[in-house]
Chain A
Amino acid sequence: MKHYTRYPGNFLIYLFLPFLFTLLIFGMGRFVGGGDAALNFAARTGTTNIIVYEILGSAVWMTSWVVVEDVGVALRDEQMKGTLEQNFLAPVNRFTLLVGMSLTDIVITTGIFFIVVGATLAITLPSSLLSLIPAFLILLVGLIPLFGIGFLFAGFVIRFKEPYIFIQTVNLLFATLTGTYYPVTFLPYWAQFVSGVLPQTYVIDEMRQIILANQTLVNLYGSVFVLLALALAYPILGYGIFKRIEKRAGVTGEFSKY
């Protein structure tokens, strides 16, 4: 949290990017579709509210960006400062350490969600403001598997020591595969299969259903159940792989900077 308060620019970028990407997509879309752009969009997505549709995708993308980047970069920073070993030698469970590093992200992502999505709804769709609450609950559940992905990523950072390019590539893959700006049905079948195991796919889709189609969490029980299953599977998988990499790093001496 101290890092974010000391460098507010980092947080502002996360608030600014969803609007920027939405604006870019909207501008390009208007150019491509001309006068019928909104109609074409509605025919494919079932909603005429382009801004809210795109902002929801953007906001979820940013939250996953924050989680993946924070966990990965935090470990790399410790590695560069030479303090990673001290952290790992402290009599604290690794799981607690990793969860502690991730807890800040709940505050940051909550801020992103309420500022970006809240402001957009307040301006463009004030009648749906109350649906922010169930949408936020979905986001919170969706954060759990994301932390699991973060643990996995933390292992990769220890092993490969290149967090930045990994972060960019992984986040772009997430954005492309989870339907950030389009329904996942636009993707080839093999890519839809990969989308199906990514938690953000469900978070984005459920949020759109809740806010734009007035669905309730009860109506969406099927995908909520899948999300809960992912919330259980990813942390176990992520932590398991992290521990394996950590064990190997202890043997091969890969905790070092370079």
Chain B
Amino acid sequence: MGSSSELRREQVSLVNSQNTNSTAKLLAEFRAAFLKDLRSYIRQPAWVLGELVSTPLWFFFFALGVTLFAPTTPAAPGESGISFFLLGFVFIVLFGTSIWGIGQTVRNEQTAGTLEQFFLAPASRITLIVGRWARIFLTDSVIIGYTTLLLYLFGGGLVTLLDPGLFLMGLGLYELGLIGFGLFVAGLTMQIKSYNTVSNLIFFGYMILTGALFPITVIPTPFRYVCMAIPFTYFIDLMRHAALATPTILPETLEYVVAIVLAISMLAVGMVMFNKVERDARSGGSIATS
């Protein structure tokens, strides 16, 4: 009996093993996950086309609304706050990756009835999810790139990026935070299943409270403290500082430290939370469609 249950344990552990000991294997898994997601994305041309049209449309729609408030004397291209909003658009698009990209992966697989197959693959779940992130990051970059080009062609001027090095560092930290948050949301999705309302609320809360579309100094003081308690506020602030030399919320050096600590912590918390939820779901038998 003892050896039989031991064998079963080993079998289960083999099936569900997260063999990511070597970097080569990890990279191979990551590559496979990325290609799998890219293939399934390209297979849905309506989605591709819809995303390419609708994402920049959000930007132009809001930008037009905001121009009602702008000074009536026309500003020179690049001085009209367009760079500020375009950056906000970039932050929002990338955040959407976390919520609807990484977070919704699990739910999509669940409703398609393929989550069990996904989890039975001899690869780390986290690598699979990060592979999806990479695909979305690629398509987001394309969308952001051509929106910027369209903006330029429509006379919005070139986008300012004063310190590209610092901006890339901020972007890297933001992405780490996003992957961590995405994993957290993916875990949440597995638990609560009917998730659309929650994801919408998180997304809209992000738009208002993190300073993505307007500086948090516009928000009255008691609410501003809520903004300052949200980690994404600092990544956004750092990137905007790098791009447009806007003043930082915290003293500059402290803000670097805070952003680095938050990025690493978010990633760690996301991974721990996702692994725990997955373990609980497997033992509780709740990896089901509904």
Contacts and interface: CB of A to CB of B under 8 A. Distances in A.
A49 to B, nearest CB: 13
B213 interface: yes
B65 A181 contact: yes
A9 interface: yes
Given A9-B197, A37-B69, A40-B69, 6 more contacts: A17-B204, A28-B214, A31-B84, A40-B68, A166-B46, A172-B57
A23 interface: yes
Interface stretch (B48-56, B135-143, B266-274): B48-56
User: Which one of B47, B58, B60, B64 has the greatest number of beta carbons of chain A within 10 Å?
Assistant: B64
Interface string B186-200: 000000001011001
Given A165-B54, A172-B58, A186-B67, A27 B44 contact: no
Interface string B259-280: 0000000000000000000000
B64 A181 contact: yes
Contacts of B208: 20, 23-24, 27
A165 B50 contact: yes
Interface of A: 7, 9-10, 12-13, 16-17, 20, 23-25, 27-33, 36-38, 40-41, 43-45, 54, 160, 162, 165-166, 168-169, 172-173, 175-176, 180-182, 186-187
Contact of A27 (B80, B194, B218): B218
Contacts of B80: 32
B66 interface: yes
A33 B75 CA distance: 12
B16 to A, nearest CB: 30
A17 B208 CA distance: 12
B62 interface: yes
B71 A36 contact: yes
B207 interface: yes
A43 B61 contact: no
Nearest to A162: B46
User: Which one of B66, B84, B208 has the greatest number of beta carbons of chain A within 10 Å?
Assistant: B66
B85 interface: yes
B77 to A, nearest CB: 15
User: Which one of B65, B197, B204 has the greatest number of beta carbons of chain A within 10 Å?
Assistant: B65
A68 B215 CA distance: 35
Contacts of B197: 9-10, 12-13
B213 A24 contact: yes
A13 B196 CA distance: 10
Given A13-B197, A166-B46, A176-B61, A30 B71 contact: no
B156 to A, nearest CB: 14
A172 B56 CA distance: 10
A253 B176 CA distance: 47
A182 B71 CA distance: 15
A206 B44 CA distance: 40
B60 A33 contact: no
B81 A32 contact: yes
A182 B219 CA distance: 23
A186 to B, nearest CB: 6
Interface in B165-195: 194
A173 B50 CA distance: 11
Contacts of A24: 62, 207-208, 213
A24 B58 CA distance: 13
Contact of A160 (B46, B64, B72, B215): B46
A27 B70 CA distance: 12
A200 to B, nearest CB: 14
Nearest to A168: B54
Given A24-B213, A28-B62, A28-B85, A169 B53 contact: yes
Nearest to A12: B197
